Amino acid sequence: MKKISDYIIYSNLLIAAGAGCFIWETYILFKLTIDPLYIIIGFVATLFTYNIDRLVIIDSLSSTNSERHAWFAKSPKSMTGISVLCFVFLLISIFFLPWRSIFFLAHLGFISVAYSVPILAKGSKNLRSIKILKIFLITYVWTASTVLMPLIGSDINIFQRDVVLLFMERALFIFAITLPFDIRDYSSDMENKVVTIPGLIGIKATRVLAFVCLLIFFLINLIHYDFHSGVLLAKLISGVSTFGIILYATENRHEYYYTGLLDGTIIVQFLLVLCLNTISF
């Protein structure tokens, strides 16, 4: 069981499933016909991006104390093969998408690759190395790909009130659950002189910031959804459970706490919305 769970979590299958779930959740919230292609693209693109992020630094992964990095360093052929298959699928999927979706995905793809690979100019740095930019890039790409991408594909006006509110609540949730990862990496980031939010304001203040994001997330949901809506209940349960997980996020937590439990809050929110969206009180 440990080998299976290691593979699912450390190969980034779990977080990729989270991306697909959030896209599915967007279809549910807007009562749209689900297009499986966009869900699969979200899954595959996330799997590809996260694996590329590790593959470009794979030579240095085995020297870290991270169980996750050590696992990945021992599986270069498998992860490379998966990444190649993902890339081929994404190329083929282009032929089945409208132009508006292709153009939108192109800018997300550029940001995602440039996040890990210095492709902007010769001798340039990757985007994640730019001071404090990392978490904002993650938040934007995740929110845009899971909210705007499926709606653009469904020819929905993305500037309407409901879309803006969902974009805001999704961004706040992603930002809140990403902050603890910087808490986890606090010591290594300080050692490597990587500027992150915990490095600037401290671990306690970073945790408070995550809680503030969840509080605003609650308030937006109260504005967005009917008070008797099952969706509102689902989002509130999701926020409260995530609050508890962030509360106990420390540097010395096991890898599963972050890449399993914390990333899993995305799937939990989706399941709650899936089960409760048709209920009213």
Mean model confidence pLDDT for the chain:
91
pTM of the model: 0.94
Hey, what CATH topology would domain 2-276 get?
A: Farnesyl Diphosphate Synthase (1.10.600)
127-179 confidence digits (pLDDT tens): 777 778 889 999 999 999 999 999 999 999 999 999 999 999 999 999 999 99
C-alpha span between 117 and 129 (Å, rounded): 10
Task: Pick the closest to residue 199 from 118, 117, 134, 115 (CA basis).
Answer: 134
Structural domain spans, the chain = 2-276
Distance set, CA 252 to CA 77, 164, 258 (Å) = 30, 37, 11
Cβ distance 238 to 265 under 8 Å? yes
Distance set, CA 45 to CA 18, 39, 101, 245 (Å) = 12, 10, 14, 27
223-278 confidence digits (pLDDT tens): 999 988 999 999 999 999 999 999 998 888 888 999 999 999 999 999 999 999 98
Q: In this model, does residue 191 exceed pLDDT 90?
A: no
Q: In this model, does residue 123 exceed pLDDT 70?
A: no
